[in-house]
Structure 1
């Protein structure tokens, strides 16, 4: 990619299936100065990479001439950013105006509806007037045919001029024209009308797919209550700046991503995550735009602008993902490019060979050839894959399962081994106090109370774990004085006139504060992979606090679900072996510990060399080399930029179970694609035989094509309602 390359994003209306996208893509690639193009039917968008001299307005006019009104989404092209290391779907276009990309017209007010109604009315009028004046029947049906066929023929000619000679419009034009030549004018008019009805139904289905993902954007309220200068005022949510303080009342939707600075409430995240149970959130917790505040007043500090909140990024990533084609989709595209000319050749042979070689009636066999031409329309076949993938990507995004393109969606379902990071992936990433042991007559509450007094106000993760446990157990925290950190050892201070020290086992041993039995208890806790802090009072150990980064609540269930799906999970961690083995033992997973980033990458490569298809799940930073090496890199995160942009896929809500759900969704999509291909080819095969035998003609032929397209699209749309298994 040269430094002068630009990238421009366009809104392209009227695309209903992959055939439309292929025509647009072919035409754009023929324009001088264009180096790359990707088209999304679902997003009604096109991204063009080009040189600085390309006239984007002229390009839009070329595509508009094919029947797809087109306009740039931004006033000026933008320089291409550094390519994403993982390939085709990695770029982000921050200039994408989602609002402008939406076509707000209801489907019944579109040009396709007007054309279909016009053709239908002309056909009805021809039937009525033909009965009144039989002599004018042929002329009337010819006029009715012209109403629907002329726009189709115009698009066929323009598409041929832009590199797509075997378009569905060209096949229809040839078939209708041939029918007129052999005197089947009424049938030709009906076939064109049925074709337009089929296109209309495709458009309705495509609009539903678009509405599904855009419905996410509607979750964010349009207004926010901004606190400014001691006053509260309602402002557009889109105008909120990072750092602004907003008030969210009970029952209101949260208008921006942010952190709670005051208040406590149960937040219903079901609209975004699908979780049925509201989460209790308080000061310091993160909330997401589009979720619903429950029972408390919240003051929230905004952490992301409207265009970059979780929902906006999800919508943008899904739309961009839909522009990148899956391997199956690329294969179908290549197949259809050879398939359609082959159908035309076969139809021509059917029309001329029997009359020439066997003296069969020309009219009968030309009719059969024309019917075969209609049966061979590749629409249903070509749409079988992208419709399912678009629906699958949308369904996943609604549940926090982001996959950056069809290739990733396919790849996830073929994984045989998953390598998971420990800290922050299988575990919460924050140490927790797991054990409190009282010594020399001190009980657990007393030990916890004194330890919390020393750690109160500290930002150290271990200190926060101690104070969090004291708060959870409702333990009183007395005031401490002369508190000071002892570098490399711990913290010291005075509480109630007594000298206290809380620190490492080595520091306590140096003070000779531990007896042999107490040291044995400490070793037992350490053997379970826990970090142990010793509380010393006036030179004597009075308590032990064991801390460990504990597994996520759903980690065991998520790993069991992966195993049930035939996938082998392993743990890759840089942590010490004893801690790794303790956590892995509780989860039933094989650990590989004390690894550097390059070691994790090496293990992924070794697994691949053994024939495994490897998925790597990690935090997107320390695991970057392994994420890049794996067949599919999956980032765990809570809607962070790293989680969304580092890997091929992201589990937004940080649940191990969601990795298994992502696999299940991928496999459901691939099963749907196989069903669609079977429907498309099966119906064509049936009507091919019946047409050659003379049992069916032009009407059933176009019904077979239209019916297959509608069935395939409807089957793919079922994925929009996909729900993960309980």
Structure 2
């Protein structure tokens, strides 16, 4: 803890790293940075290609620490103005030149030009393998055995026993494999890079009477931002003038534009429609919802999934085993079984080549990075590989009711009048409830506005809230009450049987009943209900098809309302009237009975239940800091349909990781068996290793195709 406190006092800076392609390279780069004189601690996030440094170091020093992989460092928020095409990169031109020299060498070999052929093969090895040898020899001197070390020993060994052509072919195939691996990892990370480029680099700001274009970093909270039709919104804010539709797909994944008018929130990176907006900036560029999303996604990519942790532990013992096995083949086998030494040395070198753990080590992270990036583009934040794997294994899901299965916005469904006119009853109710903060009060006011009932001119005095029962106020010369039917039971003694039956029927339908009247008579009843989301029944059916055995609802609402909503949604286990500690107990019971369990809520309430679940899922996280911070999975749009997609993505990711590991290990075992009797040539060993890496990567890329 003391060490953590000491680090907090140091300057912390985060950089983007270009050229990071393997987990071993990331670990080595991290160690090199830690060894720099001004650095106290460093952490490399391989999935997001980020470096965090505690202490002081220049970009030149950091690039020197990553010189073994020719890593390039840039500031975290620095934008790439132009991406260099894959085919234009210097290392790829080296591969092309080496391939031409190899073809010349093969032609010379066929024409018995021995010295020319050897010279061409040597040139291929030097040009194509220069960076490989510089790293491999340095590692060998330090007794660090990684992929570069194994390949260096194999290629130099092939040259030493006169297999020049084999050595040259191995160099080129390995260089191609490295280039394709770089390309595939860049593609996997591109989804996050595209999110970073969503928000414009500049904003039009009005200060006084002057409009100016300034970098987003220089915009202050409180500035008024001008957003013209068709323009992108640069920072989070609140509309202070104008009206428009805004496409929020970058944040929520929802393709349908959202209506925005004065008082509505807008987010950085979203696209304005045909209206003109003036927006008061509420967050700086590094505090916007989009910036938080990107940070959370990149942190998620750094979190090791259980399968990745297993592979990392396995690889720690795997590489030394391969080296010992290769030495055994090359030295012990000829002594024990006889045969030519050069043949056995060659077989040992083939074992070294096929033993490279590239495909195995990359099998999990490339799948996790791809899946988390795909989810982010569709408005789902998954905070780590562990949650991605767990959501793919879900067997039970518990929903909160209000704001999750329902819209969280009660609406008036019935108005029963016992005395007077309907319009007058609604006008009086709305005039009184306009002064209340209760959700049901806003439902009454909305209903009056929708029906065009004039209530603002109704005189209301002496408004008073009656805790737990309702409200009262003087309307004209008479004191009126609105609240629970029990309030009128206390005042009138007993309600007529017909009224009691009507109230019971409403409650049976899941509606909340408000009574309105005076101390001496009942004027009418108003029933309201929090309406079920139209997507809820289909969502629950889809989850069951995906392997979820139990769908429960845990709510603090009363039994009748919960039963009505639960039946409409298709929930099999309805638990009502629960206090927070009882919800927690319900989640623990579901976990014990079914296994992997998720809790779906709004990210603000039900914190104990969300924390107790294996996966806590928050609804409608856009603009809600609490939801972004507390939940393991955040559905940015207020849309239940994102949940089956997320479960499908998790289960597909699990399946692909298993396929990758099985394929990578299976191919290694087959190749090692083939290498011992001499059936496997050096170049075929590299080709098999390269093929395994590419197939594992391409298999992971299939996760980009998972859709709703």
Give the match for residue 577 of structure 2.
594
Q: 1:478 to 1:643 in 2, by over 3 A?
A: closer
Does the CA-based 8 Å contact 2:18-2:73 persist in structure 1? Answer: no
Q: 1:506 to 1:282 in 2, by over 3 A?
A: farther
Give the match for residue 567 of structure 2.
585
Residue 660 (structure 1) aligned to one of 625, 644, 662: 644
Is 1:293 the counterpart of 2:272 in the alignment? Answer: yes
Give the match for residue 62 of structure 2.
60
Does the CA-based 8 Å contact 1:66-1:158 persist in structure 2? Answer: no
Does the CA-based 8 Å contact 1:490-1:504 persist in structure 2? Answer: no
- Summarize the alignment of residues 263-274 of structure 1 with structure 2, pairs less than 5 Å apart: 263-274=242-253
**Aligned mates of 1:559, 1:238 — CA distance in 2:** 44
Q: Deviations over 1:579-622 (max 9, x none)?
A: 33332233232222333323322333333344622222223333
Is 1:573 the counterpart of 2:555 in the alignment? Answer: yes
Helix, strand or coil at the partner of 1:335: helix
- Summarize the alignment of residues 163-312 of structure 1 with structure 2, pairs less than 5 Å apart: 165-229=144-208, 232-312=211-291
Does the CA-based 8 Å contact 2:305-2:389 persist in structure 1? Answer: yes
Does the CA-based 8 Å contact 2:63-2:70 persist in structure 1? Answer: no
**Aligned mates of 1:662, 1:572 — CA distance in 2:** 21
Residue 363 (structure 2) aligned to one of 384, 394, 404: 384
TM superposition shift of 1:385: 0.6
Q: 1:166 to 1:287 in 2, by over 3 A?
A: same
TM superposition shift of 1:571: 1.8
TM superposition shift of 1:57: 7.8
TM superposition shift of 1:645: 0.9
Q: 1:56 to 1:222 in 2, by over 3 A?
A: closer
**Aligned mates of 1:712, 1:436 — CA distance in 2:** 63
TM superposition shift of 1:38: 4.6
Residue 349 (structure 2) aligned to one of 365, 370, 389: 370
Aligned length, in residue pairs: 695
Helix, strand or coil at the partner of 1:12: strand
Give the match for residue 84 of structure 1.
none
Q: Deviations over 1:321-367 (max 9, x none)?
A: 11111110111111122222222222223333442233322222222
Is 1:604 the counterpart of 2:611 in the alignment? Answer: no
TM superposition shift of 1:700: 1.4
Task: Judge which range, 714-723 or 98-107, deviates more.
Answer: 98-107
Q: 1:628 to 1:705 in 2, by over 3 A?
A: same
The TM-score normalised by the length of structure 1 is 0.86
Helix, strand or coil at the partner of 1:553: coil
Give the match for residue 29 of structure 2.
24
Does the CA-based 8 Å contact 2:237-2:265 persist in structure 1? Answer: yes
Task: Judge which range, 520-529 or 612-621, deviates more.
Answer: 520-529
Does the CA-based 8 Å contact 2:36-2:57 persist in structure 1? Answer: no
Does the CA-based 8 Å contact 1:618-1:636 persist in structure 2? Answer: yes
Does the CA-based 8 Å contact 1:187-1:699 persist in structure 2? Answer: yes
**Aligned mates of 2:305, 2:475 — CA distance in 1:** 65
TM superposition shift of 1:628: 2.2
TM superposition shift of 1:307: 1.7
Helix, strand or coil at the partner of 1:575: coil
**Aligned mates of 2:112, 2:396 — CA distance in 1:** 73
- Summarize the alignment of residues 76-115 of structure 1 with structure 2, pairs less than 5 Å apart: 97-99=76-78, 104-115=83-94
Does the CA-based 8 Å contact 2:38-2:57 persist in structure 1? Answer: no
Is 1:647 the counterpart of 2:631 in the alignment? Answer: yes
Residue 525 (structure 2) aligned to one of 530, 540, 544: 544
Q: 1:583 to 1:483 in 2, by over 3 A?
A: farther
Is 1:554 the counterpart of 2:529 in the alignment? Answer: no
**Aligned mates of 1:397, 1:556 — CA distance in 2:** 25
Is 1:563 the counterpart of 2:548 in the alignment? Answer: no
Q: Deviations over 1:444-495 (max 9, x none)?
A: x554344334444765433322222233344444521234422204243547
Task: Judge which range, 311-320 or 126-135, deviates more.
Answer: 126-135
Task: Judge which range, 385-394 or 29-38, deviates more.
Answer: 29-38
**Aligned mates of 2:38, 2:203 — CA distance in 1:** 45
Helix, strand or coil at the partner of 2:410: strand
Q: 1:642 to 1:113 in 2, by over 3 A?
A: same
Residue 328 (structure 2) aligned to one of 349, 353, 372: 349
Give the match for residue 86 of structure 1.
none
TM superposition shift of 1:569: 1.9
Helix, strand or coil at the partner of 1:718: helix
TM superposition shift of 1:151: 2.2
**Aligned mates of 2:186, 2:424 — CA distance in 1:** 64
Does the CA-based 8 Å contact 2:251-2:636 persist in structure 1? Answer: no
Residue 141 (structure 1) aligned to one of 121, 128, 137: 121
Is 1:151 the counterpart of 2:131 in the alignment? Answer: yes
Does the CA-based 8 Å contact 2:428-2:475 persist in structure 1? Answer: no
Helix, strand or coil at the partner of 2:363: helix
Task: Judge which range, 230-239 or 661-670, deviates more.
Answer: 230-239
Does the CA-based 8 Å contact 1:23-1:159 persist in structure 2? Answer: no
| Structure 1 gap segments, 5+ residues each | 74-96
Task: Judge which range, 510-519 or 361-370, deviates more.
Answer: 510-519
Q: Deviations over 1:502-546 (max 9, x none)?
A: 444344445549644234323432444433223338965443222
Helix, strand or coil at the partner of 1:676: helix
TM superposition shift of 1:291: 2.6
Helix, strand or coil at the partner of 1:251: coil
Q: 1:710 to 1:529 in 2, by over 3 A?
A: same
Does the CA-based 8 Å contact 2:645-2:707 persist in structure 1? Answer: no
**Aligned mates of 1:123, 1:254 — CA distance in 2:** 54
Give the match for residue 705 of structure 1.
689
Helix, strand or coil at the partner of 2:649: helix
Task: Judge which range, 281-290 or 322-331, deviates more.
Answer: 281-290
Q: 1:28 to 1:305 in 2, by over 3 A?
A: closer
Q: 1:286 to 1:493 in 2, by over 3 A?
A: farther
**Aligned mates of 1:451, 1:55 — CA distance in 2:** 67
- Summarize the alignment of residues 241-640 of structure 1 with structure 2, pairs less than 5 Å apart: 241-440=220-419, 442-443=421-422, 447-456=425-434, 459-477=437-455, 479-488=457-466, 489-494=470-475, 501-509=481-489, 512=492, 515-536=496-517, 540-567=521-548, 568-589=550-571, 590-610=573-593, 612-639=595-622, 640=624
Helix, strand or coil at the partner of 1:215: helix
Q: 1:387 to 1:645 in 2, by over 3 A?
A: same
**Aligned mates of 1:562, 1:57 — CA distance in 2:** 49
**Aligned mates of 1:63, 1:161 — CA distance in 2:** 18
Helix, strand or coil at the partner of 1:377: coil
| Structure 2 gap segments, 5+ residues each | none
Is 1:13 the counterpart of 2:15 in the alignment? Answer: no
**Aligned mates of 2:378, 2:19 — CA distance in 1:** 29
**Aligned mates of 2:513, 2:632 — CA distance in 1:** 38
**Aligned mates of 1:642, 1:14 — CA distance in 2:** 35
Q: 1:9 to 1:686 in 2, by over 3 A?
A: same
User: How large is the Cα RMSD of the aligned pairs?
Assistant: 3.3
TM superposition shift of 1:117: 4.1
Does the CA-based 8 Å contact 1:264-1:281 persist in structure 2? Answer: yes
Helix, strand or coil at the partner of 1:304: coil
Does the CA-based 8 Å contact 2:431-2:455 persist in structure 1? Answer: yes
Q: 1:239 to 1:173 in 2, by over 3 A?
A: same
Task: Judge which range, 332-341 or 479-488, deviates more.
Answer: 479-488
TM superposition shift of 1:625: 2.1
**Aligned mates of 2:24, 2:353 — CA distance in 1:** 15
